[in-house]
Structure formats: C-alpha cells, structure tokens
Structure 1
Amino acid sequence: MELNDYFQSYQDYFWEWTTDEDVPDSSGYHENNLISIPGIGAVVYRAYLIEILKEFQLMGLPFLTPLLLALYATNEGYLDLKSIKTGIRKHPLASHEYVKHVISPAFQFLETLKSLPAHYKRSKNRVLLLQTIFSGAPAAVSAKQSEYIIKTYLKSPQKLVDAARQTELPVSVFSKHLNILATLNDKFSSARLIIEAMKGFKDMPEPEDEVVQEETTVETGKDFIRELIEEPRTFQVGSLIKRIWSGLKIPMRHLSPGEQPIGGISDMTNKGELHRMLLSEFAHEDEIFVSRIANNESLYIQREIPPEENIFQRIILIDTSLKNWGTPKVLAFASAIAVIKHPKAHSECTVFALGQNNIPVSLDNVDQVIDGLNQVSPCAGSLSGTR
C-alpha cells in the first residue's frame, strides 16, 4: 500500500481533508493539515494524526476511517455522533446489504468510547486506548509497510495532495470500515471491558500511571501542552507555545541575596566613612592625602549592596475586544501560556481578559483555556495582544 492509498479521501464521505490557514505545519507543507467532518467540525490535525500513527508502526497501521471515528469519539467537549450517523445513513451506498446492518453496531461502539472516563482519553492513555482496541482488529498494512508509509510522509508530506483529491467510494471499502467498528463492538461491549483490556495490554505501562485521580490537579509542563495540541479547540494555541518559547528569554532570579559572592574589587569604593578607608591611603603625605579625599580619589572598604530579591507578580492583560478577535487572540493566549508555563518562569502570574469588564482568567487546564478563548467583548478596545 502506498502513502496516498492509505490517506485517500472519498466523494460524499463523512470526512475530508481541509486546510486551516491559521495553523502552520512543522513539516513545511501547510495545505491539507486538518481532517474535518463537513457541517460538524474538526476531527484531528494532521500533525497529531501522524504522531498517533507512529505509535502503530510496530503493530501495523489501522484503517484510517475507523481510526478517525475513534479519535472523534475520544475528543473532549461536545460530540455530535448522531449527526455523523445520520449522514452515513443518507449515503447512496448505505442501503447496500453489506453496509446497512453494521451501521448501528459501529456507532454503538463509538458511543461506548465516548462514555469512557475523561482521564482514559487524554495524553498517553489515549494512545494506549487506541492501541488496545485496534489490536483486536485487522491492520490495514503490515508493520513493514507501516514504516514505509510513515517514512514516505516524513520525507515528502506534500504527496498528500493526491490523497486529498476525492475519488469514488467503493462499497467494499465502506463496508470494511464500518465492519471493523462493528466487530470491535462485539469484543468491547462496555467501557469496563475496554479499561480491563487497557490494563492487560502487553508491553505498555499501566494506565494508572497517567490517570489524573483528582480533577482539581493542576496540569503543567509538556503534558499540558500536549493536551492543548490534542484538543481541536486549543490546537492552535498549543502548537504555538514551543515556538514562542524559542524566542523567550527569562531572566535568572536571585532568591538568596545574602549568599551572593562579595570580595576583591567589589569591596572598593571612592566614597565612604573614615574608619573604612584603606590603610594604604594613610601612607600618603598630608597634602596628597587631603587632595585625594577632596577629589574623591581615596579608596574605602565598603561592601556592595547585594541584589534584592526580584520576586514579583507578573500581570498579563489579554484584549478580548473586537480589535483582538481571531488570530491575534490565539497569539495572545499562546504567549500568555508560554510565559506562565516556561520551565524557568517561577513568578506568580495573574491573567485578566479585558473588554467591557476586567475578568480574571485561569489557564491551568484545557477547559480553562477553552473558557478563556470564549471570552469575547463587543467593545472596540485599545489593547493589542498580550502585555
């Protein structure tokens, strides 16, 4: 199987390749960087999809369409599986005898995935979840072919332009995609069975290692950024953070001023009290001695004032007025999170969304970032970006 065969899109199918012009791709090929469902929304960005597929190389890549449906069902936030199911039922091939009987069990399995606790659908647990369920389904290609497809994409991502050109959907492909999910529904008829299978999956860490036991736990660092990238509604923000980090310079903080090295030349000054004067100054003749004092040329011992603690609170203001809607707002939130979550940034930060009212904003987890991005004000403000 070639690269385009695996990523091929079809006419009148429920998903398609699209381009999000506001999100540059690290591969340098910015077209067709998003898979979306017409009339419903984004499924997954290409960059994240490739990272998921890399995890399947050793076991063989799963068929793309069932994987996309599983990814959509494990996205956080509002999911409209009912509309996708209705759209598939309206497809001209849906009445075929090999298709119509597997639509309901296929979507029943997707509902089971949707019902899983949130922490099983995040970060590494999500990868483990996908590997677990698709290990019981036939692979689209062998492990050797999988490595070839991934390498081909990494070398020439622009070849996807051919896969984005939609071709006619064969009934055999349509049937096979839905049959895989229907078969998985027979094997994993409940969320409990999926969780037990995840815990017993070979050569993988126990899912509890990644499970967040308390929803109030603040998520920081690389895992938090990865979760932002995995969530379609915050992907644009998350993908910019590391790029912003590369241009940030965080000053070093001196938390122990009393321990700063003092001595040598730093102990000398041309001003001070008489009892701190260097002994060598008294060896001068009286006239020279008085002259040096009068001209501030005499030398004294005086310990320098140590640097003060520069512990301070950083306040970040984000404009949510009409002037800052769209891409500037995404950049503003990405910059704010980059400053707050930078590995060298330990100062307390407070973020305010400025519009008609000044609203404090928390950016400690994905849901809070989504709520912040949803803050809008109809006024025409004067701020621009993050300050």
Structure 2
Amino acid sequence: MKYFETEAIRTQAERSQFSEHSTPLYLTSSFIFDDAEDMRASFAEEKEKNLYSRFSNPNTSEFVEKVCKLEGAESGYAFATGMAAIFSTLGALLNAGDHVVSCRSVFGSSHTLFTKFFPKWNISTSYFKVNEVDIIESLIQPNTKILFAETPTNPAVDILDLKFLGEIAKKHNLLLVIDNCFATPYLQQPIKFGADLVIHSATKLIDGQGRVLGGITIGKASLIREIYLFSRNTGPAMSPFNAWVLSKSLETLSVRVDRHCENALKIAIFLEDHPRVELVKYPFLKSHPQYKIAKQQMKLGGNIVAFEISGGIISGRQFLDKIKMCSLSANLGDTRTIVTHPASTTHSKLSTEDRLEVGITAGLVRVSVGLENSKDIIDDLKQALES
C-alpha cells in the first residue's frame, strides 16, 4: 500500500478469532498472561504484549500506527488531549536549565506552558515572530535544545517555512518539534522537511466531527521512547474508545479535508471582495504573505480562514450576534462551520500588545469552515456582515 487513503483505511489491528471486518473496541483496563514466565518476559519488554491500557491498547496502537504511516514517522504515542501531547513531549525531553526557541504564534496553552509553568523548572523560552525568522539563529544559546513552531498558526493562519526551520535545527543540533494540527497528515508532513517530532490535537480535523478529545506525537523512535516512558508514569494516555473513534475518523480524513479546503477557498475569495472586510488571510490565496511557501509544503490550504472586519472589537462582536447558521464555539475542524472573534473571547485576557504579536487584531474573525454547502456558509457570513 502506498497511497494515503488506502493506508488510512487498510491499516488495522490484527483480527481476533471472530474474524471481524471492522476493528472492535477493546474496553479493558488490563490484559492477562499465560503463566509467570510470560508475565515476567512481558514486563521485562522481552516480548511485545499489551500489559495495561495506560501503556498500550489494541485501539490506541492501531491509531498510532495509522498516523505514523500517514506522516512517515517511525513511532508514536497517543494522548488524552492535544495539550497532553504537547506538555508530555516537551516535559519528557527537557531538563532543568534547558532552553527553547519558539515562534510566538503558538496556541494559547502552549504559550502558557512556556511562560508560566516551564520557568518553575528553570526551563526558559525565547520567541521569534512569524515575520522575524531571520533572528532565529541569534536566539539560540548553548543550552537550547528544542526549536518549536506550529504552521499554519492559530488563529492568524500564518505559514512558517518548514524546510528553513529544518535546516536551522540540523545546523545547530536542535530537536525540531512541529504542531501540525491545522494541516493534518493529509495536507502536510513536516518530517519530510526535517522535523524530529510532529504533534496533533486529534480533537480537531482528525476527529472532524466534534465528538472526542485526543492528541498524538509521532517521530523518531528514540525520542518517542523517552516520551513513552514519561507518559507511562505520568498517565496522560488516550482512552481506547477515543482511539477507536479517531482511527475510524482517519478513514475519511482525505475526503473530508478535500471538501473543507474547497469550501474554505471559496469563502476566502468571497470575503476578499466584500467591502466590510479589510483583510483576508488564507494560505492558498495569492494575497497571503507566505503563499509561495504554503504551496511548496501544503497539498491544499486547510479549513481555517481569518479576516479583519472594519470597526474593531465592537464590529467583531456584532458580527457574531448576527450569525444565524454557523456555530459560535471555541473548537475548530468540525463538520459544522464555526466562527470565533478571538479578541473578545479566546484571547481576551491577553493585552492588546500581546494579541498583536500573534496577529490578533481587534476585528479579526476566525472561521473554521465546515462541510455544509459553501453557498449556505457564504450566505450566512454575508447577511451577518451586511446587517
């Protein structure tokens, strides 16, 4: 098997004695052993065997194997949430006194880890802005261990050059860790550009239907081994049920994301021509500042469209109040189109200066474009803009 869609569908756990066509749920907390020697050898890791579902489970193993194949990774570990994946990955690999270089445009909880929690353990972070990648090397210190970034960024949909980041990481012997949540394995595989580890919030497009939480880190086997040992003892494991759901979701990822991207491009083009809209950012619009980079490293532009409404925070809130069909929610990557106004909601606790650093202007609206007919989505956005 060599095609994405086939791997996503045909990668399955070994069939049981019942010869099921679809992988069943393994809702068990633990597993049994044949005898004392079998148990000893299993715990000594002399044989591959499920011991306890906090360590591994047939459902989580299937999900991990699929994502590894789709991303081109050696190994992986599945987590209860995307943030559990980010914290456990960094927590496993960083020691007191280590330093991280990160893009400033990262998910809010990732920023909180870097600025509030990691400093308690004497782990420091230096930030670069999306438009300041030329200063990255000047931020690297003798104790720098990780170069961290997400692309496309949340919520301003900026693009970072993965090949450029990979070259810097290799030159300075750093671990390159990429949050690939917005792109999914279908649109982008950062390992091809030099990433050592790739992280997903599977809650988003991988699930795609707003049902379950999940996260996953995949990459080099030696690094995943460290993450596994850390997570085996700290307990952020994904549940078998969520793994079963997410593995099923991967079977339709390509067809869903194709439609998401098709809809998103149509909506971005509509918004770009609307008089109430001052700016539209979508990776596959030629007006996007990193359009050429996006075309080089992404298959399609993704499902997130960001745009600026004239009138600032007041207009942004009024726009939300006028929405009729689309959902107002903090999630993204759902079958249902979701609209958020970050300055008055998800990022309202940040100062104006901090918001501007990550591209969140007063009138910025983020649209997670769903799978409804694009004309219905456009009609709802249009009436909200014009009323």
User: Which of these two proteins has the greater Rg computed from alpha carbons?
Assistant: 1
TM-score range, shorter chain: under 0.3
Q: TM-score, normalised by structure 2?
A: 0.24
The structure that is helix-richer by fraction is 1
